[in-house]
Amino acid sequence: MDQLEIFKALSNKTRLQILNWLKDPDLNFPDQKEHANFDHGVCVGQIQIKAGLTQSTVSEYLSTLQRAGLVKSTRVGQWTYYQRNEEAFEALSKLIQTDI
Amino acid sequence: MDQLEIFKALSNKTRLQILNWLKDPDLNFPDQKEHANFDHGVCVGQIQIKAGLTQSTVSEYLSTLQRAGLVKSTRVGQWTYYQRNEEAFEALSKLIQTDI
DNA sequence: AAGGTATATCGGAAAATCCCGATATGCCAA
DNA sequence: TTGGCATATCGGGATTTTCCGATATACCTT
């Protein structure tokens, strides 16, 4: 758990929004719901549309969140699905009570 | 509580160290102990020495932490004492469990 | 009032981050 | 195997952050 890397990852409005959207894929990504379930999370393209930024930027942001451990990804065919890593948030919450 | 401002304030190694040092002034600022108590926290000069950065930088960092609500300051004569705002950390810990 | 000390603010060079378009990679279907 | 689609990576201009030295402000002492 690299504190600094985590806080840097959280220091961006869009990345915070993405994490928030991933809390409720059903609500925030209705389009994906028609084609696939959310067992592995939400695919990059859906997140990109919602974010309104370019594909490259969103892909990079998701990598940043993953390097920080805040999300995990699953590749299925040509899609990469991202979902929150809830254990990381619990750990971060506790870390703030003890280490920071 | 501005999430983004808080995470930006925490996205710097020195600022994280300062917050950590302020958890135990007795241990981390023995020099101040000889001249003043820690009722209002630690003065900028002591923090500056420990950080090994210039006075202006440390002053700026403390302002950043204060704007984020993570520390509070008290002016006494020519000294400004800074101390942690523990309520903010508790709130942040809970915010991560609910809002992020 | 004058000089000394502690802190805050200003201006700026260097480094990091943001976000883009272009391109590369990997997978799938025909 | 060729073309199309999803995602990742690359190169770079614009903006922000980092950290400095110089200067301003505020207070205290004499």
CATH of the domain at A68: 1.10.10.10
Q: Is residue B98 in a domain?
A: no
Q: Is residue B99 in a domain?
A: no
| Yes or no, beta carbons of B100 and A13 under 8 Å apart | no
Residues B62-80 pLDDT 10s: 999 999 999 999 999 999 9
| Yes or no, beta carbons of A16 and B8 under 8 Å apart | no
- Residue B9 C-alpha from the chain's centroid: 11
Sheet with B71-76, strands from edge to edge, namely: B42-43, B79-84, B71-76
User: How many domains does chain A contain in total?
Assistant: 1
Per-residue 3-state assignment (H helix, E strand, C coil) for A44-92 = HHHHHHHHCCCHHHHHHHHHHHHHCCCEEEEEECCEEEEEECHHHHHHH
Which pLDDT does position A41 carry in this prediction?
Answer: 95
- Under the banding of pLDDT at 50, 70 and 90, the label for residue B39 is confident
| Structural domain range at position B20 | 3-92
CA distance B79 to B91: 29
Which pLDDT does position B96 carry in this prediction?
Answer: 97
Percent pLDDT > 90 in chain B is 89
Indicate the range of A30-34, A66-70, B62-66 predicted with least confidence.
A30-34
Q: Which nucleotides of C are covered by protein (CB under 7 A)?
A: 4-11, 17-23, 26-28
What residues approach strand D to within 7 A at the CB?
A 43-45, 48, 55-56, 59-60, 62-63, 73, 78-81; B 8, 11-14, 53-57, 60, 64, 75, 77-78
CA distance A31 to A28: 9
Indicate the range of A15-24, A51-60, B24-33, B90-99 predicted with least confidence.
B24-33
- Under the banding of pLDDT at 50, 70 and 90, the label for residue A35 is confident
Q: Terminal CA-to-CA distance of chain A, rounded, Å?
A: 13
CA distance A32 to A100: 38
Q: Is residue B13 in a domain?
A: yes
Q: Is residue B50 in a domain?
A: yes
Closest listed residue to residue B44, CA positions, set B83, B91, B1, B92 = B83
